[in-house]
Amino acid sequence: MTGQLIKEFSVKLISFKLIGGILILMSVLYFINGLGTNPETMSESFSGSFLGLIVGIFFLYFSTKQRMLRLYDDGIEYLQSKPKFSSNWNDIVLLKSFQELGKSSKNLILMTETDTLSISSAFFKEEYLVEAFNIIKDLKRENICIEDDINWSR
């Protein structure tokens, strides 16, 4: 985007860090528990601990990834490790707040003629999504149809 930055929202996946830390701790405890026993149990505890460490490190690696939502005066950009969605305001036709039946996560949905962006509160803070929804709504672009299914409007 070439316009002036209005607002930037950024989150990291903290739950992945917690899961990774718990898995690593459990792997170490499993290995320690298997020490000093018969060779078959030691072999089992070593292989189980090694597998747990690999999965824990995998979760810790992905906890460092950052998601960003940037609102510019001329468009929007959503980034994970690379640009996932980028569009000018003139191309966006729908702004929607949405929650699927039976699910606790809520979604901010942006649509163009050719692409759709759905950001879930499972991966992004809901307060940020609500604020972004209201900033976009307040831009008062005539080409954007606004559907507020879960009453995010201020």
> pLDDT tens across 62-106, in order?
888 888 899 998 888 888 766 688 888 888 999 899 898 888 899
What is the percent of the chain with per-residue pLDDT over 70, rounded to a whole number?
A: 97
The predicted pLDDT at position 83 comes to 63
The predicted pLDDT at position 81 comes to 67
CA–CA gap between residue 92 and residue 76 (Å, rounded)? 9
The answer to whether 101 and 115 have CB atoms below 8 angstroms apart is no
- Give residue-wise pLDDT tens across range 49-62: 999 999 999 998 88
Whole-number mean pLDDT of the chain? Answer: 87
Q: Percent helix, strand and coil across the chain, each rounded to 5?
A: 40, 30, 30
The predicted pLDDT at position 128 comes to 92
Which residue bears the tokens 């954007």?
Answer: 144
The answer to whether 103 and 112 have CB atoms below 8 angstroms apart is no
Among 7-11, 34-38, 127-131, which is the least confidently predicted range? Answer: 34-38
Beta bridge partners of 71: 7, 76
22, pLDDT greater than 90? yes
User: Which is nearest to 95 in space by CA: 69, 129, 125, 68?
Assistant: 129
The answer to whether 89 and 71 have CB atoms below 8 angstroms apart is no
